[in-house]
Amino acid sequence: MRTYLDCLPCFLSQALRAARIATDDEALIKRVLDEVGRMLGDLPLESTPPESGRRIYQKVGEITGNRDPFRVLKGEGTREALALYPSLKGRVEASSDRLATAVRLAIAGNVIDFGPDRAFDLEREIEMTLENTPAIWDYPAFRDALSGAREILYIGDNAGECVFDRILIEELKRPVIYAVREVPVINDATYKDAVQAGIDQVATIVSSGTDAPGTILHTCSSEFQKLYHQAECIISKGQGNYEALSSERRPIFFLLKAKCRVIADDIGVQEGDIVLKMI
């Protein structure tokens, strides 16, 4: 997905939010805004938003000296999700279509995101995602793709959300490779976060090698690129991965909640809609 004009003020808002979490020093925060403001002219609309996001969050780290401002929030998100795990499992077990319920829960977990919007109510979000009709629901194709695949590449998004991914992985009944970011960026899941969520018990965790808040292939390791190009079925979670991969020609299923109007428009749905979309 290209960068839209509306992304530019959002980049600045995100820089402000991250800088505030990284430091209390107003002068440093102002410097972040000044420098990110100056950077906007160098961000081509042709590049994907996570390419710009990568540079912006690097700048926040560079100026504030805090390379992992979301560390504490990530831990809290995972603990909150783990506390819900038994009841979420119960919902899957009680449902008439376990896989479909697990997909919806995995999408519900995508609300744990400190990038575009920090405010969310996880339990309410779960209820809404289970009740509302998805705007795009390529579920039959998804089920077919799963049954034909020997192994699934599952590209994770945010820490905390991993717990919800684990529930879906447990329903896939196939070997799963779970890809995380190489280093902390926003609240995206790294190896450590995935382990904390218990993903290591249900899948093989690999790093994609990227330091961007989305799977921008040219920033990924050659090992990951090989995995990606060989994968028979790919599950991509969240906006950042959608933004990075939406123009690809691989068997990808995007699971996400459209948390901003720009992405909703790009997909052709309404803001707030939930989506299971085959590429």
Segment near a second copy (CB under 8 A); pick from 6-14, 79-87, 152-160, 230-238: 6-14
Q: How far apart are the first and last CA of the chain?
A: 12
Q: Is 140 exposed, middle or buried (0-12, 13-18, 19+ CB in 10 A)?
A: exposed
Using the 8-state DSSP alphabet, how is residue 46 labeled? T
Answer for which of 18, 21, 29, 180 binds a second copy (CB under 8 A) is 29
Count of residues near a second copy by CB under 8 A: 22
CA–CA distance, 224 with 210 (Å, rounded to integer): 10
Shortest CB 111 distance to a second copy, Å: 22
Judged by CB under 8 A, the chain residues 176 through 235 that form the site for a second copy are none
Interface with a second copy, residue 5, by CB under 8 A: yes
Shortest CB 274 distance to a second copy, Å: 24
Nearer Cβ to a second copy, position 12 or 73? 12
Tell whether the torsion through CA atoms of 226, 229, 231 and 237 is positive or negative. Answer: positive
Segment near a second copy (CB under 8 A); pick from 30-38, 103-111, 168-176, 207-215: 30-38
Segment near a second copy (CB under 8 A); pick from 27-35, 93-101, 110-118, 254-262: 27-35
Segment near a second copy (CB under 8 A); pick from 11-19, 73-81, 114-122, 150-158: 11-19
CA–CA distance, 190 with 198 (Å, rounded to integer): 13
CA–CA distance, 186 with 121 (Å, rounded to integer): 19
Report the DSSP beta bridge partners of residue 190. 181
Interface with a second copy, residue 41, by CB under 8 A: yes
Report the DSSP beta bridge partners of residue 237. 255
CA–CA distance, 87 with 150 (Å, rounded to integer): 30
Judged by CB under 8 A, the chain residues 56 through 115 that form the site for a second copy are none
Nearer Cβ to a second copy, position 10 or 106? 10
Interface with a second copy, residue 37, by CB under 8 A: yes
CB 32 within 8 A of CB 64: yes
Answer for which of 25, 38, 132, 148 binds a second copy (CB under 8 A) is 38
CB 82 within 8 A of CB 164: no
Residue 129 corresponds to which tokens in the numbers above? 């995602």
Nearer Cβ to a second copy, position 41 or 140? 41
Report the DSSP beta bridge partners of residue 179. 155, 206
- Which residues, 6+ apart, have CB-to-CB distance to 160 below 8 Å? 74, 76, 77, 78, 80, 81, 109, 112, 187, 193, 197
Shortest CB 33 distance to a second copy, Å: 5
Shortest CB 5 distance to a second copy, Å: 6
Interface with a second copy, residue 13, by CB under 8 A: yes
Answer for which of 25, 34, 117, 127 binds a second copy (CB under 8 A) is 34
Interface with a second copy, residue 35, by CB under 8 A: yes
Residues engaged in binding a second copy (CB under 8 A): 5-6, 8-10, 12-13, 16, 20, 26, 29-30, 33-41, 45
